[in-house]
Amino acid sequence: MDLYKPGARFLLQGREVTVDFVLMQRGRMRVYLRGDPKAHDPSELQPLAPMPAKASESTVRKK
């Protein structure tokens, strides 16, 4: 399940967008995007592929 929290990144019609806030209206979730006054249905948004985790010193095996 996708998480529609502020700052989350998605694709909308081939462009990358950022969630500004989410409201429940009449039992439906409505997602508002930064710079766009229109409310969007979550089904319109495609999740971006998760970014690979950065290797940190704690995860890198030392020889």
Residue 13 and residue 24: Cα distance in Å, rounded? 23
Whether residue 53 is contained in a domain is answered as no
Whether residue 26 is contained in a domain is answered as yes
Whether residue 3 is contained in a domain is answered as no
pLDDT tens digits, 8-57: 999 999 999 999 999 998 999 999 999 999 999 999 999 986 655 555 55
Q: pTM here?
A: 0.71
Whether residue 21 is contained in a domain is answered as yes
Whether residue 2 is contained in a domain is answered as no
Whether residue 22 is contained in a domain is answered as yes
Whether residue 62 is contained in a domain is answered as no
Q: Are 10 and 20 in contact (CB under 8 A)?
A: no
**Domain count within the chain:** 1
* Range of the structural domain that residue 41 is part of: 9-47
Whether residue 4 is contained in a domain is answered as no
